[in-house]
Amino acid sequence: MGSGARARGGAPSWGRLLVGALAAAALALVLAPVGVLMVRGVTQADVGAALASPFVRASMQLSLLTSAAALAFVVGLGTPAAYLLARTRFPGRGLVDALIDLPIVLPPVVGGLALLLTLGRRGPLGGALAWAGVDVAFTTAAVVAAQTFVALPFYVRAAKAGFQSVDRRLEAVSATLGARPWRTFRRVTVPLALPSLAGGAVVAWARALGEFGATIMFAGNAAGRTQTMPLAILDAMEADLNAAIAVAVVLAAVSLAVLVSFRLLARVGGRAL
């Protein structure tokens, strides 16, 4: 080891200690509560029994169903939007690009209220739907709408970055090889953007799964119809804390899995390009 390295390693300055201590505090702030939750879930609450209760099972089924439906909407609506934002120039593109991120910063409760005002019985869209005999507010469909609303920008962001990372010359070469735009999109653009698309989808799904504020405003908290897992935690807090902890542990575990898979996808993407 060189003398310079020894000097630096041997005499830690107060500044370095302070930076280290603050970083440790930040880490603890994030990890400690989750750690405590996990430990209590494993040692005190009977997670297995709680998960078997009909009340918890219903919320889990509903969460899986609605978040899957929301993900389908997010991918179906978000992919064309992301492609247009990544590949075309149109007037107001910058504005659209910025505004599509709005649900990320908008308080979910505000989003839920806005959805209610729009799609509720007296709203401009909801009125028309009600006339046609379709009620959205306070139904399972409202849960899906709320989840789609909050999750969409997470996917669009990632997908847009993914499309932008695809070398346009590859698409040009594909065209000279006789491939129409749709074939080029399927055979070249999507496979090369796939790590980003999948990463965005995973994060968007996690956001939909954890959705609370917009859902409770727009869909309410009816067991079996609109009570997803986060809402079930709220209800369970009053009746059975162990059930609340059990559901929370499941959500926390899913979140960890999402984090890990997102990192893995990012690494696969980095290697592929």
Interface segment toward another protein; rule CB under 8 A; list 92-100, 125-133, 188-196, 231-239: 188-196
Q: Which of 61, 76, 124, 167 binds another protein (CB under 8 A)?
A: 167
Task: Give the torsion through C-alpha atoms of 92, 104, 115, 63, to 10 deg.
Answer: 130
Q: Is residue 34 at the binding interface for another protein, with CB under 8 A as the rule? A: no
Minimum CB separation of residue 167 from another protein in Å reads 7
> Of 125 and 170, which CB lies nearer to another protein in the complex structure?
170
Single out the residue of 18, 170, 253, 257 in contact with another protein (rule: CB under 8 A): 170
Among 75, 136, 159, 192, binds another protein (CB under 8 A): 192
Distance CA 24, CA 110 (A): 34
CA angle 187, 192, 180 (to 5 degrees): 30
* Contact between residue 256 and residue 210 where contact means Cβ atoms under 8 Å apart: no
Residue from 191, 239, 263, 267 that binds another protein (CB under 8 A)?
A: 191
Question: What gap in Å lies between CA 189 and CA 197, rounded to an integer?
Answer: 11
Provide the minimum distance between the beta carbon of 169 and another protein in the complex, in angstroms, as a whole number. Answer: 5
- CA 229 – CA 248 distance, rounded (Å): 8
Kindly tell me the burial class for residue 222, based on how many C-beta atoms sit within 10 Å of its own C-beta (0-12, 13-18, 19 or more): middle
Q: Binding another protein by CB under 8 A: which of 50, 100, 188, 236?
A: 188
Q: Does 3 bind another protein (CB under 8 A)?
A: no
For the bound state, the minimum distance from the C-beta of residue 168 to another protein, rounded and expressed in Å, comes to 9
Looking at 46-54, 77-85, 165-173, 199-207, which segment touches another protein (CB under 8 A)?
A: 165-173
Instruction: Work out whether 186 is an interface residue with another protein (CB under 8 A).
Output: no
214: Cβ–Cβ under 8 A, 6 or more apart, which residues?
Answer: 108, 109, 111, 112, 115, 146, 147, 149, 150
Is 267 among the residues that bind another protein (CB under 8 A)? no
Using alpha carbons, list the distances in angstroms from residue 217 to 110, 221, 226: 8, 9, 11
Q: What single string gives the DSSP state of each residue in 15-81?
A: HHHHHHHHHHHHHHHHHHHHHHHHHHHHHTS-HHHHHHSHHHHHHHHHHHHHHHHHHHHHHHHHHHH
Candidate segments 6-14, 23-31, 47-55, 169-177, binder of another protein by CB under 8 A:
169-177
174 near another protein (CB under 8 A): yes
Query: Closest Cα to residue 193, out of 273, 93, 78?
Result: 273
CB of 158 to another protein, least distance (A): 18
The only residue of 8, 186, 187, 263 in contact with another protein, by rule CB under 8 A? 187
Within 10 angstroms of residue 87's Cβ, the number of other Cβ atoms is: 15
> Pick from 31, 32, 36, 172: which binds another protein (CB under 8 A)?
172
Residues that bind another protein (CB under 8 A): 167, 169-170, 172-180, 183, 187-188, 191-192, 272-273
